[in-house]
Each structure stands twice: as structure tokens, then as C-alpha cells.
Amino acid sequence: MTFEEIKKILQHKIVGIAGAGGLGSNCAVALARVGTGTLIIADFDVVSESNLNRQYFFYDQIGKPKADALKENIQRINPSVKVITHNICLTRDNIPVLFRDCDVIVEAFDLADQKEMLIETVLTEFPEKPLVIGLGIAGWGNNDGIHCRKVDNMFICGDEISEITPDLPPIAPRVGIVANMQANIVLDLLLK
């Protein structure tokens, strides 16, 4: 498939991104670069200086809502992508409404309980919809431990072991690898 053919298919696709932190911002940028038609991005948080060690934001965006800042950055990269932002906290009630029309949903939350909430909600409300989750991204090195595996319609990217702690922070290289693995799976699903 040529890149022109890829773009033609992708322009009609919709991807939901739950969380615009390390995983979500980098995954969204990769999907925007290849020409995904519509990205629906939801995050309740604002950009802070501590995010800049891994998240696709700039120093002059500190204080801005993440979803809006990410939209700005995506539009500078590829203005043909339609970006729909929601500066809200995702819940069991609003996830089914906001992500109803998505071809694929990307789980890009930080906290385990939020991941659990989103996965449970998607598996209950949209059991047939592909869901790509990030799991185990903290620290550095150990490229070989990062993998992707499939459980029904759920795709799990990460090492599934490295949880964030003060001594094992999430930082750019590993977070970026997993975020781009997620984007790579999304692309594979969309082009099938």
C-alpha cells in the first residue's frame, strides 16, 4: 500500500484517545502524522512542567488544558486531522457517549484504577470494539521486555511489570515506545 492509499483509508477513521498524558499525547501525534481522519481526545488535566519529560507538549503550554494543547500541536503537524477535545474527567457514564463512534479506542491513562474503569466500561458497553491499552511503561532500558499481546479485542502494550514509583519514573523513551506501539496497532487495525 502506498502512503497515498493509506491516507485515503485513514481519512474516514475515528480514533478515541482516553487520556492526553505520556501515552495519549505521543500516540495521538503518531496517528495524526499518518493522517487519521478524526481523533477524539479526552483529558481533565492541564500541562505542568513535570509532564515535559515525556509528554508531547511545550514549555510555553504549561497551564493549558492538555486536550486543547494537544489539539494545537496536532494542527501544527497535520491540519487535515479533525481533533475533537473534551476537557473532562472520563467516567463510566460519559465514555459510552463520547467514544460511541470510534473505530478503535486507546487507553492512555496514568492510574491503575482509571485503567480498570475504562477497560471495564469499554468491555461492557462495546465488547466488539478494539481497545488498545498501555501497561507497564516506567523506567528505562529493557527494550526486550516491552511486548504486545492480544486478548480477544484487547491489545496490551508494555512490559506489564514496571509500575511507576518515585525511583522508577515514567520518562520519554519507554513511554514513547509504548505510545508508538499503541499507534502501530491502531494503524494495523484501521488498515485491515
Partner 1 sequence: MQITLNNNSEILEGNSITVNHLLQLKKFTFKMLIIKINGTLVQKGSYETTAIHDGDEVSVLHLISGG
CB 19, min distance to partner 1, A: 6
Report how far residue 104's alpha carbon sits from residue 28's, in angstroms, rounded to the nearest whole number: 12
| Beta bridge partners of residue 150, listed in sequence order | 155
CB 124, min distance to partner 1, A: 6
CB 159 within 8 A of CB 133: no
Inter-CA distances, 87 with 47, 66, 90, 146, Å: 12, 8, 9, 31
Asked if 127 interacts with partner 1 (CB under 8 A), we say yes
Toward partner 1, which CB reaches closer, 37 or 51? 51
The contact mask relative to partner 1 for 22-41 (x = CB under 8 A, - = no) is: xxx-----------------
- The count of residues interacting with partner 1 (CB under 8 A) is 35
Asked if 162 interacts with partner 1 (CB under 8 A), we say yes
Asked if 138 interacts with partner 1 (CB under 8 A), we say yes
Asked if 91 interacts with partner 1 (CB under 8 A), we say no
Toward partner 1, which CB reaches closer, 102 or 135? 135
Q: In what order do the strands lie in the sheet with 14-18?
A: 82-86, 38-42, 14-18, 104-107, 131-134, 154-158, 147-151
* Residue 21 φ then ψ, to 5°: -95, -135
Toward partner 1, which CB reaches closer, 60 or 93? 93
For CA atoms 88, 91, 94, 96, the dihedral sign is positive
Inter-CA distances, 6 with 13, 77, 82, 164, Å: 11, 18, 17, 36
Toward partner 1, which CB reaches closer, 161 or 191? 161
Instruction: Name the one range near partner 1 by CB under 8 A: 32-40, 44-52, 80-88, 107-115.
Output: 107-115
Cell numbers found for residue 149: 499481546
Asked if 137 interacts with partner 1 (CB under 8 A), we say yes
Asked if 160 interacts with partner 1 (CB under 8 A), we say yes
Of 55, 48, 69, 62, nearest to 21 by C-alpha is 55
Catalog residues that contact partner 1 under the rule CB under 8 A. Answer: 19, 21-24, 108-113, 115-116, 119-120, 123-124, 127, 134-138, 151-152, 154, 156, 158, 160-164, 170, 175
